[in-house]
Amino acid sequence: MDTYQDPLAAAVPIRGYLDAKEVLNDASRFSQASKRESAEFVGGTVLTLEGDEHFERRRLLSRLMRRRALVYFDEQIIAPTVRVVLDEELAISDRVDLVRFGRRVFLQLAASMIGLKLPLERTDRVLEQNLFPLIEAVTVEWSRSSRGEIRAKGRAAMQSYVTELVQPSIEERRRVVASGGRAEELPTDLLSLMVLDGLPDPVIHREAVLFLVASTLNNAATLTHAIDETDRWLRTGPKGIATSGDEVITRIVHETLRYCVVTPAVFRECRERTTLSSGTELRAGDMVAVMLPEANQDEAVWGPDAETFDPLRSLPIGEKPYGLAFGAGVHACLGRPLVLGSYSEELTAGMLSRILHQILLRGAVVDHGADSELAASDQRRFERFPIRFERPSFLASRLGIS
Ligand code: HEM
């Protein structure tokens, strides 16, 4: 299949926020149907499994989100990587592509979480050879380019990713286990957890693809939207902002996630004939498209200004400030604590806030003199988003960041 096919054409659209929540939260009436087009890359992963198998895999992988791991990722990986990558980029030019910068940083995070050896100097090669084609292959349903070509490039990227990065790390962990090593001798990463659990190689390979793409794509896209929307908001919106510093950054991250959902929809299949609380009738076998961007801008929940970006908005009682950006129910995003910070007593900042803070502090502003470019996809993401650095910077001074 090479011609463009709209994945929404054969599905019943669910646009209302409450309907969307109802569908996502009810695994007994709705089964997972996302990512069927990219099964060769991410089939049989936590994202696509169902029932007990899903429960067990999710329980296993949730260990990556324990507080100690989050603090490690936050302090030992993200913070120094942002510094080093930014220094490297700025040594070449004060104009930086924020998409590429974000993907370089998040690739290091992904490598650490998965358990891959990836020295910083190899980052660019892995970006080109593996990450970019795999992002396109795993999100092929939304692509406007040739799908046959995307899949072929994805296959080649997966093969070299597995051979050069994933399999050597699996073997290393198996050697430790075979020589009577204890589980504690292995680092807490995806490959260690799956090897210790006795899962077969092809299953581990696809989970390593899912985590590679999941931890880079949405994060890098959200980072660019945060800068883009905040710039527009400050130029056209409030004269003065009562909140500042960390508080306003957290609000910007939440509002960006609510307002700029990257993926047009997640899919579920209706198991039985049913009627949603709003009255929408569904038949057994119906494919349902839960339209996250529309749900997150539903005026009935978010008010008459739902379609505007306003980090200082009053929030509906009982709802998360980012709405359904991370999905909901059994398949809700596993990486959310990493993205937003942990909610335990001692909070970790959350990597999006941390990165946004670091780049704003260095003087990042939108480079209005250069063109940004959207990806050839129905996903809402940039392919290129130029920023530059200035002191004092328009964004940092308006937001009270010092
Ligand atoms: C801004 C960042 C992110 C956004 C907006 C986001 C969004 C989402 C959404 C909407 C889903 C639900 C898909 C569905 O219901 O079909 C999901 C699932 C998932 N996400 Fe994220 N994600 C983000 C970052 C991450 C990160 C950093 C990781 C890395 C650990 C991650 C790992 C996953 C996994 C493993 C699942 C599948 C969970 C399951 O099915 O049990 N995500 N994400």
Read off φ and ψ for residue 12, nearest 5 degrees. Answer: -85, 120
Q: What is the pLDDT of residue 345?
A: 45
Whether the CB of 218 sits within 6 Å of ligand 1: yes
Give the ligand 1 atom nearest the CA of 106. Answer: 27
Partners of 269 in the β-ladder: 31, 287
Give the model's pLDDT for residue 347.
Answer: 54
Give the separation between CA 129 and CA 160, rounded to whole angstroms.
Answer: 8
Cβ contacts of 69 within 8 Å, gap of 6 or more: 63, 188
Side chain identity at 288, as an amino acid letter?
Answer: V
The count of C-alpha atoms lying within 13 angstroms of the C-alpha of 101, restricted to the half-sphere facing its C-beta, is 27
Pocket flag, ligand 1, residue 215 (CB < 6 Å): yes
Measured by CA distance, the residue closest to atom 42 of ligand 1 is 335
Q: What is the pLDDT of residue 6?
A: 81
Q: Which helix (H) or strand (E) holds 258?
A: helix 245-259
C-alpha R_g of the chain: 21
176: buried, middle or exposed (CB in 10 Å: 19+, 13-18, 0-12)? middle
Tell whether ligand 1 has an atom less than 6 A from the beta carbon of residue 291.
no
- Tell me which residue has its CA closest to atom 20 in ligand 1: 333
Helices (H) and strands (E) in the chain, counts: 19, 11
Q: Per-residue pLDDT tens, the chain, 402 aa: give them.
A: 466 678 888 899 999 999 999 999 999 999 999 998 899 999 999 999 999 999 999 999 999 999 888 888 888 999 899 999 999 999 999 899 999 999 999 999 999 999 999 998 899 999 999 999 999 999 998 988 888 999 999 999 999 999 999 999 999 999 998 888 777 788 889 999 999 999 999 999 999 999 999 999 999 999 999 999 999 999 987 777 777 778 899 999 999 999 999 999 999 999 999 999 999 999 999 999 999 999 999 999 999 999 999 999 999 999 999 999 999 999 999 999 999 986 554 555 688 999 999 999 999 999 999 999 999 888 899 999 999 999 889 999 899 887
Euclidean distance between CA atoms 231 and 226, whole angstroms: 8
Alpha-carbon gap, residue 234 to 100, rounded angstroms: 25
- Any ligand 1 atom below 6 A from CB of 327: yes
Residue 143 carries which DSSP code?
A: B
| Of 159, 297, 312, 170, residue with least CA distance to 234 | 312
Cα 211 to Cα 204, 238, 395, distances in angstroms: 11, 39, 32
